Structure 1
Amino acid sequence: MKQLLKKTATITTIAGLSVVAQAQSVPIFGLVELSGPGTTAGVNFDNGVKLAVKEINASGGILGRKVDYTSWDTQTQPGVAKALAAKAIDQGAPLVIGPVFSGSILVSMGETRRAEIPNIIGGEAAAITQQGNPYVYRASFTQAAAMPKVARYLSDNMKVKSLAVIYVNNDFGKGGRDMITKAAEARGIKIAVDISTDQGQVDFSSAILKAKQANADALFVYTNEEESARLLKDLRKQGFDKPVVGETTLANDKVIELAGDAANGVIAHVGLTADAPNSTVQAFAQRYMAEYKYKADHNAMKGYIGMHVARAGFDKVGKIDSKAFAKAMPGLSIAASKYPGVLFDVTYDDKGDLDRESFFVKVVNGKTQVIDTLKPVK
């Protein structure tokens, strides 16, 4: 009997220690596209988060507490993302990170908002932060900030007077189409034609024919990664000879890999690039390569930065407190000298949008080259 009581006491003690250890960790859940059309973006984003968590835990965690990160697959479906957000809330998450696809974010962020849980996202649709949600924060530029930079480059550097636009007909694509149209027209650039395409589309011959018939000075492409690669291949097949310009998804390494030579000559504005002439970024790129055996793309950088922003936010308030985190974020400036994981000095506004330097790149011989560095707006 004494031995049984002793064993029971030991088991109880071990269980108690397990509960204490669990209570001392910070449970953060990732809602990411690990399957479906968003797999490329979601897997890279998730890997970026995991690398950040590994580094944060190795340096003492958040406020001395280990981060316990779990990623769940949204399947690139908004309904699934919403259900997973509710699940994360039920499991006591003080912060949720992801999704990447804007359509999923626009649905899932309603759950985190109702629960007053901070949500760091990878999406770029302008509509996300235009809804006055005080609990959502970007790890990337909003389209509203990026597109005026693209339009200025088209006008001032490329002397474009007319522009054809091909975009993907989802929340991401429609938001980008609206913003580039507004920014271009403000610069005196005429939109010669705008052409809608479908998510997952394979054949772009009809869209390209319309773009060629418009005879614009340049083509602006705003589609997801896999579609961008197929579109570039079809542009090459059809002998399209006008400049092709886009945003981050057009110059993604996965796009370049899939498109091959057809990607050469593409010019894109990117908020994040592992090719940035920045020693902090280069050090991150080396660590990412060592961890995953392939080059980090902008999605990986979003996930990595987002997790380090979470750490900086909780450090700012001095406790793991979701509401206090939300109150501290508007106007928060995070210096890369203090938090190297954010990679660049970054400042958040009262909408959850961020400001930092960005870049224009050109694809040359299958690799992106930085051709211009743009300073933060403020």
Structure 2
Amino acid sequence: MSKEQNEGRQRMVLHRIAGVMALGVACVLPLTHTGTAHAAGDPYWVGVTGPLSGQDAQYGEQWKRGFDLALEQINANGGINGHPLNYDFEDSRSDPRQAVAIAQKFVDDKRILLELGDLSSGASMAASPIYQRAGLVQFGFTNSHPDFTKGGDYMWSTAISQAEEQPLLASYVTKGLGFKKIAVLYLNTDWGRTSKDIFAKAAAEDGAQVVAAEGYQPNEKDFRATLTRVKSASPDSLVLISYYSDGAQIVRQARASGVHEPIAAVGSVYSPKFLDLGGDAVNGVYTESNFFPGDPRPEVQSFVQRYRAKYNAEPDTFAARAYDAMTLAAEVIRRYGPTRSGVHDGFAKIDNVPSVIFGKFRFDPQTRRVAGAKNLDLVVKDGKFALWDGKGAPRAQ
């Protein structure tokens, strides 16, 4: 072998040794599930999918307030083991097609450790297969559709499912308020239709009857014709399966049209904006919520006071849910590591995390939803939400 050949072979061996050593060093770096290393002080990232424009933009804005308040506290206390936590909020308009496109973006972005959202169950469920295949947790913290968490073991939610929430509402209005002949107005979406069906079944089991059920479109503004059809069924009460914006409009138009029967609504109307939009017309409306600013628990009062100080406004359920979701995400990353696989394992194991809504987080590993969630029975009184006093609803005159 010539000297040149021998030197060439030596160089080749040295290059191979260097490559093996580099690989060994790389193997001890903290890697995410997708292979991204986090240098000291680099931020950890969460992806958020939700509406920042369109008809549901107000809910996305409430989310942002809750997220920002949570991050303010998390990062002021050193972040997550010295790493600040940030989020990338992509505007889906709560449209399933946009949610799918954003899901693909997030799974391809190696920084994203988990996803929060979407607002509606329909938008989230359209994107679920993408997150499941990629191994990225989809934390649909407002998704109450019973089938959302059935999409795979990467789907988790802190929302009470419709299968649990609607029987609670049915019990409140039938056993508590004495509703017997109920007219239901429901948002004609997958969420609204499913809620209506579950509510009607539960109300029947409680001895009441749904005498009319009218759906309306998400962009609908004039409900007078619908209310006329409902009134012809001679109900003794109305139940709204609505969000706070459309719910307030329905109540205003109902009262202006001479509909005086008592009205109850699902917990999605629980927001100071429902009071602002509905004015005097919403006095006497019954609803439920698992968040109430008057709750004396220290964690609730701390959140409410900081929210008021930062935004000069009252927090609603959407802000509280977002605050809790970001707090939980941070704690999962802190305890189980800044990797997609660590986050997935962490959601199955996490417990004893302080929560504004639930007191402490504890997931049911079978349903991948919060275990033991309950609602508070509320009524609008003198322009404010108040705890229900236990009295039946006054009959229409």
Pairwise TM-score range, normalised by the shorter structure: 0.7 to 0.9
CA shift for structure 1 position 284: 0.4
Cα 1:212–1:181 change in 2 (3 A) is same
How high is the sequence identity, in percent, across the aligned residues?
A: 24
Matching residue of 1:371: 388
Q: Does 1:25 align with 2:9?
A: no
Task: Give yes or no for contact 1:281–1:343 (8 Å, CA) kept in 2.
Answer: no
Query: Does 2:316 correspond to 1:307?
Result: no
What does 1:34-73 correspond to in 2, within 5 Å?
34-73=52-91
Alpha-carbon distance between aligned partners in 2 of 1:372 and 1:119, rounded to the nearest angstrom: 39
Q: Structure 1: where are the runs of 5+ without partners?
A: 1-18, 374-378
Contact map agreement 2:275 2:383 (CA 8 A) in 1: yes
Distance 2:232 2:131 in 1: 46
Once the two structures are overlaid, the 10-residue window that deviates more, 172-181 or 346-355, is: 346-355
* Displacement of 1:23: 7.3
Q: CA deviation at 1:128?
A: 3.9
2: CA distance between counterparts of 1:372 and 1:248?
A: 18
User: What is the Cα-based RMSD across aligned positions, in Å?
Assistant: 2.2
Aligned partner of 1:240 in structure 2 is 259
Partner of 1:118: 137
Return the alpha-carbon distance in structure 2 between the equivalents of residues 157 and 43 of structure 1. 34
User: Within the alignment, does 1:161 sit opposite 2:183 as a pair?
Assistant: no
The answer to whether the 8 Å contact 2:351/2:363 transfers is yes
- Are the aligned partners of 2:121 and 2:145 in contact in 1 as well (CA < 8 Å)? no
* Aligned-partner Cα distance in 2 for 1:58–1:201: 44
CA contact (8 A) 1:133 1:351 kept: no
Aligned residues: 351
Amino acid in the other structure paired with 1:120: F
**Equivalent residue in structure 1 for 2:351, among 316, 330, 333:** 333
CA shift, 1:331, in A, is: 6.6
Matched residue SS, 2:310: helix
2:98 corresponding residue in structure 1: 80
SS of residue paired to 1:329: helix
- 1:366–1:209 distance in 2 versus 1, CA, 3 Å: same
What SS class does the counterpart of residue 55 from structure 2 fall into? coil
2:251 maps to 1:210: no
Letter in 2 for 1:69: Y
Match of 1:354 in 2: 370
Inter-partner Cα distance in structure 1 for 2:166 and 2:352: 24
Q: Is the partner of 2:232 in helix, strand or coil? A: helix
**TM-fit CA distance, 1:372:** 7.2
Return closer, same or farther for 1:341/1:232 CA change in 2, 3 Å cut-off. closer
**Distance in 2 (alpha carbons) for counterparts of 1:216 and 1:342:** 34
Amino acid at match of 2:107: I
Q: Which amino acid aligns with 1:233?
A: R
Query: Partners in 1 of 2:341 and 2:119 — Cα distance?
Result: 23
Counterpart AA for 1:210: R
Q: Is the 8 A contact 2:149 2:157 kept in 1?
A: no
Which letter does structure 1 place at the counterpart of 2:87? Y
Distance 1:125 1:49 in 2: 20
Q: Specify whether residues 178 and 289 from structure 1 end up closer, same or farther in structure 2 by C-alpha distance, changes over 3 A only.
A: same
What letter is aligned with 1:272? F
Question: Which of 307, 310, 314 in structure 2 is aligned with 1:288?
Answer: 307
Letter of the structure 2 residue corresponding to residue 111 of structure 1: I
CA positional deviation for 1:105:
1.0
Whether 1:184 and 2:184 are equivalent positions in the alignment is no
Q: Give 1 or 2 for the bigger CA radius of gyration.
A: 2
Contact 1:32 1:43 in 2 (8 A): no
Whether the 8 Å CA contact 1:309–1:342 is kept in 2: the answer is no
Q: Does the CA-based 8 Å contact 2:69-2:307 persist in structure 1? A: yes
**Amino acid of the residue matched to residue 361 of structure 2?**
V
Q: Counterpart of 1:171? A: 190
Instruction: State how far apart, in whole Å, the 2-side matches of 1:328 and 1:101 are.
Output: 25
Structure 2 segments unaligned to the other structure (5+ residues): 1-36, 391-397
**Corresponding residue number in structure 2 for 1:224:** 243
Please tell me the residue identity of whatever aligns with 1:53: L
Flag the 1:21–1:316 CA change in 2: closer, same or farther, 3 A: closer
Alpha-carbon deviations, 1:94-143, whole Å to 9, x = none?
11111112221111222222211112224333244352421122232211
Quote how far apart the aligned CAs of 1:343 are: 5.8
Letter in 2 for 1:309: L
The SS at the match of 1:126 is coil
Query: Which whole-Å CA distance do the structure 2 matches of 1:179 and 1:311 have between them?
Result: 34
Cα distance in 1 for partners of 2:307, 2:131 equals 30
Conservation of the 8 A alpha-carbon contact between 2:179 and 2:236: yes
**SS state at 1:94 partner:** strand
2:123 paired residue among 92, 97, 104: 104
Give the Cα–Cα distance (whole angstroms) in 2 for the partners of residues 313 and 258 of structure 1: 38
What is the letter of the counterpart of residue 359 of structure 1?
Answer: L
Structure 1 stretch displaced more, 300-309 or 209-218 = 209-218
What code does the residue aligned with 2:367 have?
K
Q: Distance in 1 between matches of 2:97 and 2:383?
A: 37
1:344 matched residue in structure 2: 359
Q: 2: CA distance between counterparts of 1:136 and 1:160?
A: 36
Match of 1:193 among 212, 217, 239: 212
- Alpha-carbon distance between aligned partners in 2 of 1:85 and 1:320, rounded to the nearest angstrom: 19
Structure 1 residues 138-157: aligned runs within 5 Å: 138-157=157-176
